Amino acid sequence: MWVPVLRNRAALAVLALALSIACGSAQQSQGPAGARPPAEASPNDIDGPTMFASVCGYCHQDGGRAQGKGPKLAGTKRSDEFIIDRIRNGKPGSMPAFGGTFSEGQIVAILAYIRSLEDNGE
Amino acid sequence: MALRAKYLTGCAGLALATMMSAPASAVDPSRLLTADQNANDWLTNHGSYKSYHYSPADQINAGNVKNLEVAWTHFPERATRGIQSTPLAADGVLYYSGSYSRVYALDGATGKLLWSYVPELDEELVSKQTHSPYNRGLALANGNVYVGTVDGRLIAIDMKTGKPVWDTRLVDSKKLTVGFTGAPLAVKDTVIIGSQGGEWPWRGPIFGVDGKTGQKKWEFFTVAGTDEARATWGGDSWRTGGGGGWMAGAYDPETNTVWWGTANPAPLYDWAGADWQKSGPRPGTNLYTTSVIGLDPDNGKLKFYHQELPHDAWDFDSAVGEFLSIDRGGQKLMVHPNKGGFIFVYDRANGKVQNVWQLTKNINFVKGIDPKTGELIGRRDLSLGKADTPLCPAIAGGVSWNSGAYSPRTQLYYKISQEWCMDITVIRTTPILEPMAQLNIGADFKLVAPPDGPARGRLDARDPVTGQKKWEINYKEPPLASILATGGNLLFVPDSEGVVHAYNAETGQELWSHNNGMGHNAGIISYMAGGKQYVAVPAGWGSLVSDEFAALWGEPFKSMAKNTGALFVFALKQ
């Protein structure tokens, strides 16, 4: 998938919303069809901070503001393409691949969250 | 690749070693019953059913340990996240596993490779896993070596030939992401293995499998495994409760009971705060997570349980697989460490709490635990938002999965404590309603130093029942490997920087050390081959706990490789 360079937070949020609607929610769609209605699906599917705290914060500490098991993400100089590729495909032995878990919209929402982090210089 | 040290390169040494090294032979399950008295072998993940991590062997002792040197080494392939397994030894052959569940059989005296087994794994699945691709150990019985895989299988390998005997899929890992990293436990004709779980939203089963045929005999869900347990999960939260039993437990032959520790519920952190009985993502006590359970090995039926932390809201599971059978004053006791830093002492007959003592100094998730009942006193249930003071211990625990050791000779229990805390902000996450391939944490956090000083590790020598301390050794960083006590009055501690220490088990005086050049994250054992005692320890760094070290302590951990490892085997100079 082509991914534009996204530095502007407002643009990121809009794109995340658009992608989320277009791609649907991987998180809520993996259960058995018709098993139960997805609860709170729409607002949280593109909630980067919430998804980060559910999954990513286990390794990227203080919500990505500090180094932990994984690197600090606040102020990262990595490109959008790199970050999206890393979320999608992981790094063997270090980071799982989330491409089959998150929708493209969710991945972009996480990218937006990472870009929103203030670098406190720690 | 195997390298023999100089004293075995001579013809005489080679001939002697070859002559005296017995070929691999079948391990009958009955041999496991007396493994604690067997100086020649190391037959279970914890050394024996008593979980002492103790060898009666005494050729290497406090008087001559200064002459210990590397006898041979072995380098496994693809040591992603180092090596985390505890080797086994039987009849002069050493068996160990590496990442991706690769298994090696080596001549215990020379290191000569007898066979290796490389299971074909679902690599796409492995790439999605967080707690992967390491393997923490094997089981021996019925002429087979048993190993679990991260893609949900239990495999039997012929001890002599290295050929697979059977290969049974137990978990639909493609759907659930988790599989097996812990060692199996062989009990009579059954092989028992617990799945991963915890922060992974499923029901964390433990399996009993026929050791000869590979047929599944039973399955026990650590989340809502009984009607009574299901009632302790509000709504449908039991469907995605986490749990699991990711380290091998122990067996008490007198009562025919398997003791197993279970993992934490999901999500790890709960925004309900003190209202956890009624609200939040998993209202209720959440049985049988963070519990010690007694199972009948023949049918998987629950005999008893004790939930060490009802509604665990801190990720301090009971999955540490260490269960020490201690007989004291006519009482038959079972000693078990909880990740929160407390040591529980149970009656082996029924799982009733007999004592609880505090190992880790920096604890504030509770004010204490009643030593008579095991009831939590003054629990600290975190509310939504940032906690005003750090939570102690940190998520990595007051103890980790690596086992301590008990010496019947000194009657001391040697155990590593981890002293660290963490800043935490609890976040309300999206409810996860079906088992799926996704972590479920529920907080942002950062490891920090405890209130009383720097983050650090400590080795305590204590009475296992009362907790009375005899001596301690402090480490800049917590050692993350299992340790070893021996009949030679020695205690071996492989540390995180790469040094193996040998101490006088009575006094704690350091008698010998050797730098293996990379951190230890596995288990150390002793065995005999050709009438000679060896000490074997895998080195190789990289795990979800050790990955925290670079941020806390910098070098050498910032630069320490996490994709290499080696098995080092030591013996006395000739």
Instruction: Report ipTM (2 d.p.).
Output: 0.79
Is the predicted pLDDT of residue A14 greater than 80, yes or no?
A: no
Q: What is the mean pLDDT of residues B83-91?
A: 98
DSSP assignment letter at A38: P
Q: pLDDT per residue over B260-280, tens digit each?
A: 999 999 888 998 999 999 999
What confidence tier does B439 reach under pLDDT thresholds 50, 70, 90? confident
In this predicted model, which residue has the larger pLDDT, B520 or A37? B520
Q: Which pTM does this prediction carry?
A: 0.90
B189 is catalytic: no
Alpha helices for B244-379 (secondary structure H): none
Q: pLDDT per residue over B197-253, tens digit each?
A: 887 778 999 999 999 999 999 999 999 999 999 999 999 999 988 999 999 999 999
Which residues in B lie closer than 8 A to residue A31 (C-beta atoms)?
Answer: 433-434, 436
Q: Please, what is the average pLDDT of chain B?
A: 93
In this predicted model, which residue has the larger pLDDT, B128 or B413? B413
In this predicted model, which residue has the larger pLDDT, B469 or A18? B469
What confidence tier does A48 reach under pLDDT thresholds 50, 70, 90? confident
Comparing CB atoms, the residue among A67, A69, A100 nearest residue B544 is A69
Which residues in B lie closer than 8 A to residue A50 (C-beta atoms)?
Answer: 427-430
Pairwise CB contact (< 8 Å): B444 & A100: no
The closest alpha carbon to B360, from B459, B261, B454, belongs to B459
Is the predicted pLDDT of residue B430 greater than 90, yes or no?
A: no
**Which pLDDT belongs to residue B437?**
58
**Which pLDDT belongs to residue B66?**
98
Which residues in B lie closer than 8 A to residue A96 (C-beta atoms)?
Answer: 127-130, 132
**Which pLDDT belongs to residue A45?**
54
Is the predicted pLDDT of residue A4 greater than 90, yes or no?
A: no
> Rounded to whole angstroms, how far apart are CA atoms B292 and B262?
6
Q: Position B549: which residue type?
A: F
What confidence tier does B137 reach under pLDDT thresholds 50, 70, 90? very high
**Which pLDDT belongs to residue B26?**
79
Q: Check if the beta carbon of residue B65 is closer than 8 Å to that of residue B512.
A: yes
Comparing CB atoms, the residue among A55, A59, A93 nearest residue B438 is A55
Q: Work out the angle between the directed axes of helices A80-89 and A104-116 (0-180°, nearest 10).
A: 130
Is the predicted pLDDT of residue A5 greater than 70, yes or no?
A: no
Q: Checking phi first, is residue A108 left (phi over 0); if not, alpha (psi -120 to 50) or beta?
A: alpha
Q: pLDDT per residue over B277-301, tens digit each?
A: 999 999 999 999 999 999 999 999 9
What SS3 class is residue B436? Answer: coil
The closest alpha carbon to B538, from B135, B191, B228, B263, belongs to B135
What confidence tier does B403 reach under pLDDT thresholds 50, 70, 90? very high
Pairwise CB contact (< 8 Å): A35 & B434: yes
Q: Checking phi first, is residue A84 left (phi over 0); if not, alpha (psi -120 to 50) or beta?
A: alpha
Q: pLDDT per residue over B306-329, tens digit each?
A: 999 999 999 999 999 999 999 999
Other CB atoms within 10 A of residue B319 CB: 29
Q: Nearest CA of chain B to the CA of A4: how many Å?
A: 25
What confidence tier does A10 reach under pLDDT thresholds 50, 70, 90? very low
Other CB atoms within 10 A of residue B472 CB: 12
Q: Nearest CA of chain B to the CA of A37: how many Å?
A: 10
* CB hemisphere CA count around B300 (13 angstroms): 20
Is the predicted pLDDT of residue A34 greater than 90, yes or no?
A: no
DSSP assignment letter at B86: B
Q: DSSP letter string over A53-92?
A: HHTGGGTSHHHHTB-SSS---TT----HHHHHHHHHH-BT
Length of chain A: 122
* CB hemisphere CA count around B297 (13 angstroms): 24
**Which pLDDT belongs to residue B146?**
98
Is the predicted pLDDT of residue A26 greater than 50, yes or no?
A: no
Q: Check if the beta carbon of residue B321 is closer than 8 Å to that of residue B182.
A: yes
Q: Check if the beta carbon of residue B289 is closer than 8 Å to that of residue B312.
A: yes
